[in-house]
Structure 1
Amino acid sequence: MSGLSTHVLDTAAGRPAAGVRVTLETRDGRYIAEGVTDSHGRVAAFGTGSPARGDYVLRFDTGAYVDGFYPEVIVVFTVTAAGEHHHVPLLLSPYGYATYRGS
């Protein structure tokens, strides 16, 4: 499978974070696509195909989901191998977050 996906987990509540709006952009701010996490906390794909090599930004509208310290989480990442699947999960709580490259 190729493409780009994300997953938001509410670590404070111990469940997926449904209804979080996520926007995908290039690093220079060009809009590519957006999605909203489903009941499993996932955006399964941003468009079709795999992103080209380069730097990208995922903007998570966390303020609409949880009343906490971070109203928005911005994750900048680099695609070095076009054609591979890239999965960027976000672990979220009201006062912290973490991310990593998933599979």
Structure 2
Amino acid sequence: MGKLTTHVLDTANGRPGAGIKVELFALSGDARRALKTVTTNDDGRCDAPLLEGEALAKGEYELVFHAGDYFAALGASVPEPRFVDRVVLRFGIADAGSHYHVPLLVSPWSYSTYRGS
């Protein structure tokens, strides 16, 4: 059974990104359909897969991480406008029967991602 998961690591402070709002959208051409909004737990993860089983379909998706709000809440000294604010990751699901893990490593100045396991 396929599933989509994510987690956030705060690389500036060396800890999980807890309490970060994450939005999930399905994409179809220029159209964007909201699927789910969650908040990361104390371990920087979601309490359940974002999508799994029949809900996970082949196609294009977008995750939006509200990282700027997270760092602001921590009291990070960053300029306005923020250099890193909302991190938008667009990716494709080619095999709906597989596990797609899309982590975010983030600081107020940079971010990266990869397909994890």
CA deviation vs aligned residue, 1:47-72 (integer Å, no higher than 9, x gap):
44252000000000112101441110
Partner SS state of residue 45, structure 1: coil
CA distance in 2, matches of 1:9, 1:89: 8
Alignment of 1:45 onto 2:49: yes
Q: How many residue pairs were aligned?
A: 103
Higher helix share: 2
Match runs of 1:4-15 below 5 Å? 4-15=4-15
Report the counterpart of residue 75 of structure 2 in structure 1. none
TM-score by length of 2: 0.82
Which of 29, 33, 38 is the matching residue for 2:36? 33
CA distance in 2, matches of 1:10, 1:71: 14
CA distance in 2, matches of 1:85, 1:24: 16
Identity in percent: 47
Report the counterpart of residue 2 of structure 2 in structure 1. 2
- Largest Rg, 1 or 2: 2
Match runs of 1:1-103 below 5 Å? 2-27=2-27, 28-43=31-46, 44-49=48-53, 51-67=56-72, 68=78, 69-103=83-117
Higher strand share: 1
TM-score by length of 1: 0.92
Structure 1 stretch displaced more, 81-90 or 39-48: 39-48
Q: What amino acid is aligned across from residue 98 of structure 1 in structure 2?
A: S
Shift of 1:15: 0.4
The runs of 5 or more residues in structure 1 that have no matched partner are none
* Displacement over 4 Å in runs of 4+: none
